[in-house]
Structure 1
Amino acid sequence: MSDKPSVLFVCVHNAGRSQMAAAFLTHLGQGRIEVRSAGSAPADMVNPAVVEAMREAGIDISTQQPKVLTTEAVQASDVVITMGCGDACPIFPGKRYLDWKLDDPAGQGVDAVRPIRDAIEERVRSLITELLPAHG
């Protein structure tokens, strides 16, 4: 068991919002937080506009693959953050659930994805501050 906090980001396709959130948390958390992402109905690939928007932010997610949401992933996480997956996410007692209301980047161009990316980065920065309080 790890003493690091763990976070699972979930959206329907695991091709946009949850991929961006996981990438930001991995990048900004610098290995201090365990990060997972998954989708209730994963797409075949990460949204190319999302890949481009993240590249502009200096983060390469071009090799990421959408993953299916599993009960084990939820059980292994301290915090589960949903992004429009509705009732598809299993609920377990003792887990902390947050629902981030964000526009879906599916079918959008990179111009539409940028504000979603920026909103996710802002929320991830706040989450890191919460999960990793400054020591003494």
Structure 2
Amino acid sequence: MSPTPSVLFVCVHNAGRSQMAAGFLAHLAGDAVEVRSAGTAPADSINPVAVEVMAEIGIDIADRTPKVLAADTVETSTVVITMGCGDTCPYFPGVSYRDWKLDDPAGQDLDAVRAIRDEIEQRVRDLLTELGVG
């Protein structure tokens, strides 16, 4: 039996995009994937609009807290997905990196954040297919 893959979502503030992606992955994959998220400069709290648009589809991320990105978290991940953190994300050989170009939900209205949410959902579903997790 192969080990459980670990996916780390990284954005600057770990308050919107990465939290929504982690919420989707945990919801869709259950225990089949270890889900992590972090930020290079974490905010004090989750973006309330991100919480609201995820709650609209039955995924609760309200109790999540932004976390600082640690090198060992990157090094021990199977896949690292960056979302606008640029060169501040550490690189380790053997880790698979992806950069998802997504708008930042900070300061956006509900409709804009819904569109970001929907794009994240599709990318997470594609990732699950790629990882062979159904």
TM bracket, shorter-chain basis:
over 0.9
Over residues 31-80 of structure 1, what are the superposed CA-to-partner deviations in whole Å (9 max), with x where a residue is unaligned? Answer: 10001000000000000000000001110100000000000110110100
SS of residue matched to 1:30: helix
1:58 aligned onto 2:58:
yes
Answer whether contact 2:37 2:67 (CA < 8 A) is retained: yes
- Map 1:74-89; keep pairs closer than 5 Å: 74-89=74-89
Q: Tell me which residue corresponds to 2:124.
A: 124
Q: Which amino acid aligns with 1:38?
A: A
Structure 1: which 4+ aligned runs deviate by more than 3 Å? none
Q: Tell me which residue corresponds to 2:17.
A: 17
Q: Which amino acid aligns with 2:102?
A: L
Task: Output the CA distance in 1 between the equivalents of 2:98 and 2:75.
Answer: 15
Pairwise CA distance, 1:112: 1.1
Pairwise CA distance, 1:133: 5.4
Q: Which amino acid aligns with 2:60?
A: D
More off after superposition, 108-117 vs 44-53: 108-117
CA RMSD between the two structures:
1.1
TM-score relative to the length of structure 2: 0.96
- Go from structure 1 to structure 2 and tell me whether the alpha carbon gap of 1:127 and 1:74 turns closer, same or farther (over 3 Å shift): same
Pairwise CA distance, 1:110: 1.6
Answer whether contact 2:82 2:100 (CA < 8 A) is retained: yes
Percent identity (aligned):
68
Q: Tell me which residue corresponds to 1:91.
A: 91
How many residues are treated as equivalent by the alignment? 133
Task: Output the CA distance in 2 between the equivalents of 1:13 and 1:97.
Answer: 19
Structure 1: tracts of 5 or more residues without a match: none
Q: Tell me which residue corresponds to 2:113.
A: 113
Task: Output the CA distance in 2 between the equivalents of 1:95 and 1:5.
Answer: 11
